[in-house]
Each structure stands twice: as structure tokens, then as C-alpha cells.
């Protein structure tokens, strides 16, 4: 079978992403629980993916116009099938602007993929009226063993040069909480920032790699041919096995810190 073109290989796969739907949706629930709005008229789910986070917004705000924005055709197709009454828009968040009257910008597990995301978020906050809310969650797990193991794999195989060239398309670094606070607070009446560490139980070591095939591994694997990709994944499973001892029930505990921000717009420019 022919190799997929790079753009297809690099697109998100809704099916792969949804293999861990429950675990991936839980932070959305936790973020939404802190959104201090009763009945916003217009809500946007930024990086809506397959519509799992959008569905929570529709349930919580039944009277709102909810739109989903994403750059992935596969994700948008899945979201449209899941929520046929919602409007989904294909756009790059780096340049996208909310429609006037939008009162909530919600985003779960997206902005660590967007170049210069702190300033994109600031621009989006500036587009909200007083009382409008920006609610964002991003994984803050770059220093976790699962990623230090990945660095070892990348450095130690014939794929090192190809993977290094994908640097610009890999996930971006987060700021410290206090840096987000200083950036957003002059525009806001309240900025709430917190971390939650989830301890996900994964069936086995291969399952951990399966998880990241749906997210962080995507750009790294895209330039590799099928044989090299399999060798890379197999080496990563070995490395994960050495890094994460099995728990008493044979499962792997994947500790996953995430950063949450809920910013309520004030009247400042
Ligand atoms: C990890 S998924 C999150 C999906 C969903 N929000 C959830 O809660 O599970 C990240 C999504 O962000 C989208 N994305 C990444 N960078 C983007 C960008 N610059 N513009 C628009 N969407 C982007 C991807 O296509 C993908 O669907």
C-alpha cells in the first residue's frame, strides 16, 4: 500500500484520538466546572477536535449558539457527525477571530500546538467584551518520564535526523503560571490558574504509546516510512517498559499534569 502523503499523515486522526476519549475529556469537564457564566449567547470551542469538548458545551449551555473551530479535516468530519446541529469551521487559530458577541472562548488540549500561543490567547482575550471568559487547558507534562523516554528514543535511532526536522511542528513549551498571569491580568478582572495531576491507568506499556500516537507522536512519525515507524514505536514501548513499573494489577500509571486558566475579561484595553 502506498505511504500516505505528509499532509494526510500529519492530520489528526479522530479514531486514534478517541481511543482514550474518557481520559481526554475529563479535563474539559473540570475546566468547564470553573467557567463563571450562566447563559452565554455565543460560545466557541477552539480546537474542537472530534466534538467531545463541544458536546459538553452544548449540554451546559443549551440556549447558546456553539461553534467549533479546528484546522483538521478529519476531526471536523467526526465533530459534524457527532453534533449535526452545531456549526464547525475549518480555521487556523493563529489568525481566527471570534464573531462579535462571543462570550466564552473554551479550549481543551489545543494551544500547546499553536505557535506563540501566549500572544494568540492575549489577542483572543482582547476580542471579548467585559465579562467574557477565556477558559483554556494545556498539558504540562513535558518533563514527565514519558517524554524524557521519548527524547532517548529520538536520539538513539536512524530516525534522529528526520525527527529533528519536525521540531517546528512539534508541541510548544508552556509558560510558567505567573507569566500567564502577568500577561492576562491587565485585561481581566479575574485570572484563575491551577494545575491538576491526573493519574491515568493504562492497560499496558504499549497502551501508553498508543495514547501518544493520537497526539504528541503524530508530527514525529509523519516523515518516517512504515518500517522505520514500526521500529521507532517498538523502541519506544521498550523504553516505556523500562521507565514505568507495572502496578499491582498489571496496569501502568501515567501521571499527567495539566495547566488550567480561566480569565474573565475586565474593561481594560
Ligand atoms: C488534542 S485535540 C483536542 C480536542 C478536543 N478539544 C478535546 O478536548 O479533546 C487538539 C485539536 O487542536 C487542533 N489544532 C491544533 N492546532 C490548531 C490550530 N493552529 N488551529 C486550529 N486547530 C488546531 C487539532 O486539529 C486537534 O483537533
Query: Could you give phi then psi for residue 253, rounded to 5 degrees?
Result: -95, 115
Measure Cα distances from 185 to 110, 135, 194 in Å: 21, 14, 15
Distance between Cα 72 and ligand 1 center (Å)? 8
Asked whether 56 and 29 are in contact (CB, 8 A), the reply is yes
43 lines ligand 1 (CB under 6 A): no
Q: What is the pLDDT along the chain (269 residues), one digit of tens a residue?
A: 333 343 455 678 888 878 888 899 999 999 999 999 999 999 999 999 999 999 999 999 999 999 999 999 999 999 999 999 999 999 999 999 999 999 999 999 999 999 999 999 999 999 999 999 999 999 999 999 999 999 999 998 899 989 888 877 778 899 999 999 999 999 999 999 999 999 999 999 999 999 999 888 988 998 999 999 999 999 999 999 999 999 999 999 999 999 999 999 998 66
pLDDT at 122: 98
Residue whose CA lies nearest to ligand 1 atom number 1:
109
Q: 104-108 and 87-90: which strand pairing?
A: unpaired
Query: Which atom of ligand 1 is nearest the CA belonging to 94?
Result: 19
pLDDT at 166: 85
Question: Residue 201, Cα to own-chain centre: how many angstroms?
Answer: 19
Q: Can you point out the beta strands (E) in the chain?
A: 42-46, 65-70, 87-90, 104-108, 133-139, 188-202, 252-265
**Residues 111, 255, 46: CA angle, nearest 5 degrees:** 20
C-alpha grid cell, residue 147: 517524554
pLDDT at 1: 33
3-state secondary structure of 219: helix
What does the alpha-carbon distance between residue 129 and residue 34 come to, in Å, rounded to a whole number? 19
3-state secondary structure of 116: coil
Residue whose CA lies nearest to ligand 1 atom number 10:
110
The pTM score is 0.93
Distance between Cα 247 and ligand 1 center (Å)? 32
Residue whose CA lies nearest to ligand 1 atom number 14:
47
Asked whether 111 and 122 are in contact (CB, 8 A), the reply is no
pLDDT at 10: 62
pLDDT at 17: 79
Contacts of 7 (CB under 8 A, 6+ apart): none
Distance between Cα 62 and ligand 1 center (Å)? 23
Amino acid at each position: 500500500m502506498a505511504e500516505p502523503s505528509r499532509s494526510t499523515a500529519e492530520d489528526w486522526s479522530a479514531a486514534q484520538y478517541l481511543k482514550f476519549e474518557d481520559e481526554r475529556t475529563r479535563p474539559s469537564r473540570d475546566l468547564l466546572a470553573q467557567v463563571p457564566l450562566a447563559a452565554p449567547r455565543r460560545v466557541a470551542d477552539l480546537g474542537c477536535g472530534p466534538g467531545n469538548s463541544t458536546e459538553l458545551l452544548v449540554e451546559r449551555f443549551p440556549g447558546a449558539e456553539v461553534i467549533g473551530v479546528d484546522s483538521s479535516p478529519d476531526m471536523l468530519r467526526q465533530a459534524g457527525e457527532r453534533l449535526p446541529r452545531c456549526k464547525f469551521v475549518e480555521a487556523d487559530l493563529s489568525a481566527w477571530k471570534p464573531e462579535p458577541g462571543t462570550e466564552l472562548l473554551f479550549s481543551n488540549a489545543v494551544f500547546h500546538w499553536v505557535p506563540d500561543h501566549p500572544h494568540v490567547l492575549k489577542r483572543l482575550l482582547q476580542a471579548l467584551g467585559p465579562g467574557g471568559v477565556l477558559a483554556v487547558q494545556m498539558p504540562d507534562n513535558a518533563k514527565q518520564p514519558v517524554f524524557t523516554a521519548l527524547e532517548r528514543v529520538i536520539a538513539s535511532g536512524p530516525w534522529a535526523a528526520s525527527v529533528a526536522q519536525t521540531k517546528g511542528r512539534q508541541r510548544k513549551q508552556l509558560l510558567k503560571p505567573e507569566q500567564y498571569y502577568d500577561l492576562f491580568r491587565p485585561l481581566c478582572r479575574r485570572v484563575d490558574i491551577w494545575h491538576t495531576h491526573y493519574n491515568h491507568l493504562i492497560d499496558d506499556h504499549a497502551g501508553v504509546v498508543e495514547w501518544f500516537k493520537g497526539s504528541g507522536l503524530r508530527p514525529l512519525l509523519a516523515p518516517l516510512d512504515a518500517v522505520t515507524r514500526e521500529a521507532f514505536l517498538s523502541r519506544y514501548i521498550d523504553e516505556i517498559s523500562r521507565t514505568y513499573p507495572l502496578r499491582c494489577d498489571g496496569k501502568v500509571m501515567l501521571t499527567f499534569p495539566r495547566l488550567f486558566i480561566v480569565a474573565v475579561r475586565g474593561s481594560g484595553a
